[in-house]
Amino acid sequence: MTLLKATHLSKVFGGLKAVSSFDVEINKGELVGLIGPNGAGKTTAFNLLTGVYEPTTGDIMFDGKSLVGLKPFQITQRGVARTFQNIRLFSELSVLDNVKIAYHLHVKYGLLESVLRIGRYHSEEDEIEQKAIKFLDVFKLTDKKDEIAKNLPYGEQRRLEIARALAAQPKLLLLDEPAAGMNPQETQELMNMIRWIRQEFDLTILLIEHDMSLVMGVCERIYVLEYGSIIAQGTPQEIKNNPRVIEAYLGEEVH
């Protein structure tokens, strides 16, 4: 079953076509990679899928409905969550509060109840805390729950960002360079976590990544972007052996 389908998606900035003819179809439950050289348009594609930019042309169907014209928070409510290339945490808040905040999109108490801290607020707040801790457990951050986010080492900040995105209870999770700045051991652990959360939370995942060991190791299918256009798609094996991809991006590194 198709969960996400982008058709003829493009984005022009001034005279520059950052993304053109971006056609991508992702099935429910798939783990898909998006790779390409620097400046190929990968982050712009994520920004289109999450409503940061409105497409110049094209459509994005998600779970049977178009996302075009929706604001980022509305797209999150529809079930799309993301992380960013340059980590965006609430840097002055605790690790636990960073995850709890994502839940507030979903809880049912009103502003008045939350300000007065009455009624449903207490029981829901306890429930949120328990769920948030569950996500911190997954990402081995429970011991750090009271630390201020900006004081965490870089790799842990990246993991916290994924935990926070998951707390929004998405159907589709978009990860923008999740392994950036991680050492090989952290990258290996991250791969295992990505596999595990996909299974555990019934997720579909699209990830941008330059670390080929991660992309080839974890993704079932890969799209390759060059100068804004998809130039290839296929299994990791097919992508590794695709002459056009080797020329455009992989070079000698896969031989």
Ligand X SMILES: Nc1ncnc2c1ncn2[C@@H]1O[C@H](COP(=O)(O)OP(=O)(O)OP(=O)(O)O)[C@@H](O)[C@H]1O
**Residue 131 binds ligand X (CB under 6 A):** no
Cβ atoms of 207 and 178 closer than 8 Å:
yes
Q: Which stretch binds ligand X (CB under 6 A): 11-19, 140-148, 196-204, 215-223?
A: 11-19
Q: Give the one residue of 3, 4, 36, 219 binding ligand X; rule: CB under 6 A.
A: 36
Report the residue number, 36 or 170, with the smaller CB distance to ligand X.
36
Cβ atoms of 204 and 30 closer than 8 Å:
yes
Say how far apart CA 94 and CA 254 lie, in whole Å: 41
DSSP letters, 185-237, are HHHHHHHHHHHHHHHHTT-EEEEE-S-HHHHHHH-SEEEEEETTEEEEEE-HH
Say how far apart CA 26 and CA 5 lie, in whole Å: 6
**Residue 118 binds ligand X (CB under 6 A):** no
Report the residue number, 16 or 112, with the smaller CB distance to ligand X.
16
Q: Which stretch binds ligand X (CB under 6 A): 10-18, 97-105, 107-115, 188-196?
A: 10-18
What single DSSP character describes residue 252? T
Q: Give the one residue of 20, 33, 35, 42 binding ligand X; rule: CB under 6 A.
A: 42
x/- mask, ligand X, residues 48-87, rule CB under 6 A, reads -------------------------------------x--
**Residue 10 binds ligand X (CB under 6 A):** no
Cβ atoms of 25 and 17 closer than 8 Å:
no
Query: In the complex, which residues of this chain contact ligand X (CB under 6 A)?
Result: 13, 16, 18, 36, 38-44, 85
